[in-house]
Amino acid sequence: MNSEPYTLDRYVAELRRITGETDDEDEIIRQVGPLAQRMAVEKAWLKPKHYESDSEQGYGVHVLHEEPDHSLAVFAVSWLPGRGTPPHDHGTWVVVAGVEGVERNVRYRRLDDGNRPDYAKLDVKHDFNADAGELVCMKSGGIHSVHNETDAVTLSLHTYGKHVNYTVRSQYNLENNEKKDMIVKTA
């Protein structure tokens, strides 16, 4: 392994190279995963402000990098204790690497045929905890929720094929099967 710190600039250069060579999401995720893990473990990019969260939203989304066309967005996301997200998709591929703390992830499968625009019936597909250094990867269309069940702020590094506020992104209500648009506040 290279002994020089793995910087955000180096990471972004690798992201640009990978996505310039292929648009196959499986291949992108396969190549980006180990690089995201290295970023998460080495933490050369990490600053105290990345632990700040929006109390209303329940988490903080800190933009580390975003291309001018909103592609290749990289975020540090801090999760308040006991808080999380409803089930949601991203509208793009995503590679998440745990930085600090354990985050509960639940993946869902969609049971309906998608013909009703504001409706989606989901079922739990997989429920697991992701710890520091572990990856959570999804292709476009994947649905999951995240929850910090600890008593401390947790932190994860998120890399997206496109900034999530510039994709068609939805959140889902399991009680009434409602599907609606999802926008996050960023810092």
Interval 114-151: pLDDT, tens: 999 999 999 999 999 999 999 999 999 999 999 999 99
Q: What is the pLDDT of residue 175?
A: 95
List the pLDDT tens digit at each of the 187 positions of the chain. 557 889 999 999 999 999 999 999 999 999 999 999 999 999 999 999 999 999 999 999 999 999 999 999 999 999 999 999 999 999 999 999 999 999 999 999 999 999 999 999 999 999 999 999 999 999 999 999 999 999 999 999 999 999 999 999 999 999 999 999 999 999 8
Q: What is the pLDDT of residue 30?
A: 98
The packing angle between helices 8-21 and 25-42, to 10°, is 170
pTM more than 0.85: yes
- At a CB cut-off of 8 Å and minimum separation 6, what does 26 contact? 139
Which residues sit opposite 100 in a β-bridge? 155
CB 158: neighbour CB atoms within 10 A? Answer: 20
Q: Which of 25, 52, 50, 27 is nearest to 39 (CA)?
A: 50
Rounded to whole angstroms, the Cα distance separating 98 from 134 reads 5
Q: Which of 123, 75, 125 is nearest to 99 (CA)?
A: 75
Q: What is the pLDDT of residue 14?
A: 98
Rounded to whole angstroms, the Cα distance separating 120 from 176 reads 9
Q: What is the pLDDT of residue 2?
A: 56
Domain map (residue ranges) of the chain: 8-181
CB 57: neighbour CB atoms within 10 A? Answer: 14
Name the superfamily (CATH) of residues 8-181: Jelly Rolls (2.60.120.10)
Q: Which of 163, 180, 181 is nearest to 70 (CA)?
A: 163
